């Protein structure tokens, strides 16, 4: 374990860092030193090499059998640092090496971060996580599904699991976008229902089309996302006679220029990953209609929670759309409640402060 002097900032080892890691590194500035282990050996986009930020040299390969010799090499590579931050399943061997040799080599604390639930449940990986994370100082998860997995499947103690939602710039989303600042122009008198769809959720999008078809003609449906438009959805649009009311503009380069133009935001599928676009809608003071899945219940303001609907409950979705469409003051009240909750609980500054406390506590050293 590094014996940092008071002259040098604490030294962190990042294994398979994410875009959020890059944001945190930038936010912490010169208060920490960073060495990053990536698959290609280069720094992630957004970072440049300095005396305080550098790629790892000669770190043991992340792939291979968890044999004692390989694990020992990994453990030895951690000794020069004050804190080890691992990310995702690809970094679990590093966590395993830490558990195996922490006491023998006096290794620094390790905090593991999981970002997305496993696509498929694997008993082998579940057991490996249980063992590998056995001596970690913390396990960071963004939402309810992963929190439940950490507590139940991986059998980690409650005090070790830290639920930290990814923060967003709530001030940026609070600014009302220009009506012509997006590739579509929102004309006076038009009202927009927005959805940021997943290409795998064709059934949910089709259900939304049918529910939307019952709304007045001054409402338009804006479907954001990549590779959403399919022949089957086009056929449904034709059948419902919505050709001039449904648009597929793709993925906006700047979400702040479009989310705030929505009068209602809809999420048609349960949350598999952390629903960042739902949070963006909250920050933009937009009321949300979403599938009741636990995650949305936790994130949304209390005033918005009664507008959640069960998966595949098309009639409820249609009724909720009609009710909100007919009541502008209600939409405004729910949207403002969402905005306040986003500012209080989901702002980027709050997230950065939470990570700062967590990392400082693990190192037993403030920065």
> What are the residue boundaries of the structural domains of the chain, listed by start?
11-167+348-363, 170-345
- What is the per-residue pLDDT for 28? 96
The topology (CATH level 3) of 11-167+348-363 is Rossmann fold (3.40.50)
Paired with 97 in beta bridges are none
Enumerate residues 6+ apart whose C-beta is below 8 A from 21.
14, 36, 44, 85, 87
- What is the per-residue pLDDT for 183? 87
Tokens of 225: 């996302």
- What is the per-residue pLDDT for 363? 97
Reported as a pLDDT band with limits 50, 70 and 90, residue 91 is: very high
CA distance 356 to 24: 9
CA distance 73 to 226: 42
Whose tokens are 């640092």? That residue is 81
Q: Which CATH class is domain 170-345?
A: alpha beta
CA distance 174 to 166: 17
Shared fold status for 11-167+348-363 and 170-345:
yes
Q: Which of 219, 179, 184 is nearest to 324 (CA)?
A: 219
- What is the per-residue pLDDT for 159? 96
Report the 10 Å Cβ neighbour count for 251: 11
Total-model pTM: 0.88
Task: Examine the pLDDT at 103 and tell me if it is beyond 70.
Answer: yes
Average pLDDT over the chain, rounded to whole? 95
């Amino acid at each position: 374990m590094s014996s940092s002097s008071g002259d040098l900032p604490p030294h962190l080892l990042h294994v398979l860092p994410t875009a959020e890691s890059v944001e945190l590194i930038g936010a912490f500035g010169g208060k920490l030193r960073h060495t990053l282990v990536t698959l290609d050996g280069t720094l992630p986009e957004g970072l440049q090499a300095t005396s305080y930020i550098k790629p790892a040299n000669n770190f043991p390969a992340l792939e291979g059998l968890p044999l004692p010799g390989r694990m020992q090499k990994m453990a030895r590579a951690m000794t020069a640092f004050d804190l080890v931050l691992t990310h995702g399943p690809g970094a679990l061997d590093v966590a395993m090496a830490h558990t195996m040799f922490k006491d023998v080599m006096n290794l620094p604390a390790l905090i593991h971060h999981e970002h997305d639930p496993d696509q498929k449940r694997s008993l082998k990986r579940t057991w490996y996580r249980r063992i590998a994370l056995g001596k970690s100082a913390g396990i960071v998860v963004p939402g309810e599904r992963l929190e439940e997995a950490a507590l139940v499947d991986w059998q980690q103690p409650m005090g070790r699991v830290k639920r930290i939602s990814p923060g967003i710039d709530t001030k940026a989303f609070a600014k009302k976008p220009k009506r012509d600042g997006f590739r579509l122009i929102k004309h006076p008198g038009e009202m927009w229902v927005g959805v940021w769809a997943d290409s795998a959720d064709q059934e949910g999008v089709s259900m939304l089309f049918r529910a939307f078809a019952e709304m007045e003609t001054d409402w338009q449906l804006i479907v954001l996302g990549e590779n959403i438009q399919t022949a089957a959805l086009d056929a449904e649009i034709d059948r419902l006679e919505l050709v001039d009311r449904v648009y597929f503009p793709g993925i906006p380069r700047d979400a702040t220029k479009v989310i705030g133009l929505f009068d209602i935001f809809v999420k048609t599928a349960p949350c598999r990953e952390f629903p960042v676009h739902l949070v963006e809608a909250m920050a933009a003071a937009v009321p949300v209609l979403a599938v009741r899945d636990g995650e949305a219940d936790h994130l949304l303001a209390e005033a918005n929670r009664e507008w959640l609907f069960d998966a595949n409950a098309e009639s409820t979705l249609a009724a909720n759309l009609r009710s909100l469409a007919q009541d502008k003051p209600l939409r405004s009240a729910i949207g403002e409640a969402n905005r306040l909750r986003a500012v209080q609980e989901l702002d980027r500054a709050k997230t950065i402060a939470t990570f700062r406390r967590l990392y400082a506590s693990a190192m037993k050293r403030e920065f």
